[in-house]
Structures are given as C-alpha cells and as structure tokens.
Structure 1
C-alpha cells in the first residue's frame, strides 16, 4: 500500500516537473534543472535518466529550429552541423561508458556549472544585443576555426547539455557574428543537432526508459505550448532569477545527497 502511494507520487512529480520544465524552456530555458532530477526521482539510474530526459525535451528544440531557420548564416552551417554531429555522438558515447556512481557524483558540479552559465547569459546577451544594434558589415569567418571551437561545446551538449547553447552563442559572438537573431538561431541549431545525435545514440543503445520518456515528452510539450503563450508577458529578469535559484537549489540538494 505504502509503496503504491510512493509510486503514484513519483509519477505525479514527473508530470509536474516535466510540465514546468516545458514552461521554463519556452520562457527562458533551464527546464532540465527540474525534469532531470524528476527522472532520478522515479528511480531511473543517473545515466539513463540523463539520456531519457534528453529524448523527452528534444522535440521542443526541433520546433524552434523550424521557426528560426531564416536567420541562420549559410556560410557557417556546414561547420556547425559537422561539429554538432561529431560532438553530440562522442559526448553521448562517453556518457554511456561512464560509471553510474561517477556520473552521480558529477551531477551537482554539472548542474552548478550550468546554473552559473545561465546566470551569466543575461548580461552577456545584453552585451550582444547592444552590439547587434550597431550596423556592422558581415565579417568573413573561418568555418574551420568555428568547427574546432564548437566541437568541445557540442561534446558537452551530448554528454549533459544544460548551458551549452549559451556557450555556442558566446563563441560565435567572439568570432564576430554580430546579429542577435543570427546568434540565437545558430545556438538553437547547434543544440538541436547535438542533442539529435545524442538521442539517436541513446535510442540505438537502448538507454531510454520509454514509459517515463513518453510521459515527460507529452507534458513538457504541453508546458512548452502554455509557456510560449505567456513568454512575452513575463519579465525576463524575473524568469532568469527563478531559473538560477532553481538550479542552485537542485545542485545544493545533490551536493548534500552525495555527502559533499
């Protein structure tokens, strides 16, 4: 009787966390800070929880790519696509060959690092928008250098992912991509393709816990639709603060859980 109640509560938490994660991703990002721990909470092993969470949240990225494809720089597409594919697959393969306990001890550090990156993304994004407001001639950028710079970032996205999109934007801005819509579209493309490569790797190796994945995918999609309706009405600074606080709390919980 007690175990049945606990099981129902775990499902309820997965549904709630996935729904809120979908809302967060649509409004500001950072949904994995809730949906990934929820996967662990229903009893999925750490590596399978990360893989299942990646698959569950990926469809939302695909719809974003479809909406933003017109803003992409065509000259950088081959470099970004190849880096995303190679990095995403290699990150996923390394994840699957990581011991469960090793990954469990990495979780709080990964969450904390992603939270810090997310917190920094606000001021850096404002700086990028200020640059994009000033007319610039489109700079010639070496696709090879872009590929080499993005490869380790795409590896990280395939391995864990949270905060990786911000790193993509930062690197491209440093290379001289000035326009904010272009930066955002290329970020979404790199994250989508890296996670697609990871998703295919996870599916082919049987790392997905499908019944939890489908539940999370459905409710994250619903939350994403709802979040998109209200995204423009919310103060972005408040949303960002909520995501950062959530990330810090979840990371602190895992530090405590691991005895660190």
Structure 2
C-alpha cells in the first residue's frame, strides 16, 4: 500500500510540475527547474529524464517562434541556424554518451549555474533594452565569428539548456544587433532549433520515456496557455526572483541527495 501511495504521489507531482513548468515558461522561463526533477522523481534515469523533459517542453517553444516570425533578422539566419543545428545535435549526442552517475552528479551544478544565469539575465536584459533605445549605426554582423560564439551556447542548450536564452541575446548584441524585438525573436529561434535537433536525436536514439513525456507535454501546454494570459500582468523581476529561488532550492536538494 505504501508503494502504491508513493507511485500515485509521484504521478501527481509530475502532473503539477508539468503544469507549473508550462506557466513558468510562458511568463518568465525556467520551467525545467520544476519539470526535470519531477521526471527524476518518477524513477527515470538522469540522462533519459533530461531527454524526456526536453521533448515534453519543446512544443511550447515552437509556438513562440511562430508568434515572433515577423521580427526575425533574415541576414542572421544562416549563422544562427547553423550554430543551432550543430550545437544542438552535438550537445544531445554528448549527453547520451554521458554515464548516468556522472550526469546525476552534474545535475546540481547544472541547476545552480542555470539559476545564476537566469538571475543575472534581468540586468543584461535592461542593458540590452537601453542599448536598443540608443541610436546606433546598424552594421551587418560578421556571420562566421557569430557562428563560433553561438556554437558553445547551442551545445549547452542541446545538453541541458536551462538559462541559456539571454546568452544568445548577449552574443547577438555584442555583434551589433540592437533592436530588442530582433534579439528576442532570434533568441527564441536559436533555442527552439537547438532543442528541436536535440529532440530528434533523443527520439532517434530511443532515449524518450513516452508515457511520461506525453503527460508532461499536455500539461505543460495547458500551463503555457494559462501563463500567457497573465504574463504581462505580473512584475518581471518578481517572476525572475521566484524562478531563481526555485532553481537554487532544487540545486540544494540535489547537492544533498547526491552528496
């Protein structure tokens, strides 16, 4: 009876976590801080849990790209797409070749780093916004150097991914992209494409636990719809603080668990 209760509790936790993850991703990001640990709680091996979580949350990114397609910079597409494809596939392949115990010991560090990245993203976003409001002479970015700067970021997205979005925006800004809507749309495209390549790799290699994936995918979609209705009504700094605290608490838990 205790075992049955525990199993049902884990399913309830996965449902709630997926719903909350969808809301978080729609409002501020960082949904993986909740949904990934919930997948681990189901007893899924760490590497497969990360792969399954990536597949479950990816459809929400696709809808974001569709909504922002008018703001994409066509001249940047070759560099961004090439880096996203190569980085996403290579990150996914390296993940699948990582030993389970090694990845489990990396989990708290990955969560902590992602939380810190997310924490400083607010300051970087404000800098980018001020930069976009200041008149500049628009220059075409050097596409080859941009590719090599984006490649390790997209590799990280394919491997784990949380907290990488603002790194893409920062790289683009440093290469001369000034307009905020263009920065955001290119960020969403790079993250979506990198994760799509990772998704294809995970599916092809049989790393996805589908019955958990479909549950998480459906609930995250519902959460994403709900979150989108309130995204503009809640202070972004408050949301970011909640996400960072959540990520740090999850990191602390896994430091304790694997320590």
The TM-score bracket by the shorter chain reads over 0.9
Shift of 1:207: 0.1
Aligned-residue offset at 1:72:
1.2
Q: Secondary structure at the match of 1:176?
A: coil
Match of 1:34 in 2: 34
- 2:188 pairs with 1:188: yes
- The whole-number CA distance in structure 2 between the counterparts of 1:145 and 1:151 is 10
Q: Quick one: distance in 1 between partners of 2:21 and 2:136?
A: 37
SS for the counterpart of 1:75 is helix
Distance apart, 1:136 and its partner CA = 2.5
Take 2:138 and 2:8, find their aligned partners in 1: how far apart are those partners?
A: 55
Q: Does 1:258 align with 2:258?
A: yes
Look up the match of 1:125.
Answer: 125
Q: Structure 2: where are the runs of 5+ without partners?
A: none
Residues 117-196 of structure 1: pairs in structure 2 closer than 5 A:
117-196=117-196
TM-score, structure 2 normalization: 0.99
Deviations 1:43-83 (A, max 9, x none): 10000000000000000000000011111111110111011
- What CA distance in whole angstroms lies between the structure 1 residues aligned with 2:94 and 2:79? 22
After superposition, residues 6-155 of structure 1 pair within 5 angstroms as 6-155=6-155
Distance 1:210 1:137 in 2: 50
What does residue 198 of structure 1 align with?
198
Residue 135 of structure 1: how far off its partner (Å) = 2.6
Consecutive aligned runs of 4 or more in structure 1 exceeding 4 Å deviation = none
Q: Distance in 2 between matches of 1:190 and 1:137?
A: 25
- What is the root-mean-square deviation of aligned Cα atoms in Å? 0.7
Q: Distance in 1 between matches of 2:236 and 2:80?
A: 28
Q: How far apart are 1:19 and its partner, in Å?
A: 0.3
1:216-255 matches, cutoff 5 A: 216-255=216-255
Between the aligned partners of 1:213 and 1:194, the Cα distance in structure 2 is 19
Q: Which moved more, 1:199-208 or 1:136-145?
A: 136-145
- Give, in angstroms, the shift of residue 138 of structure 1: 1.9
Query: In the TM superposition, what is the alpha-carbon distance from 1:3 to its structure 2 partner?
Result: 1.1
Q: Please tell me whether the aligned partners of residues 124 and 166 of structure 2 are also in contact (alpha carbons under 8 angstroms).
A: no
- For residues 97 and 205 of structure 2, what CA distance do their matches in structure 1 show? 11
Unaligned runs of 5+ in 1: none
Offset at 1:137?
2.9
Instruction: Tell me how many residue pairs correspond in the alignment.
Output: 259
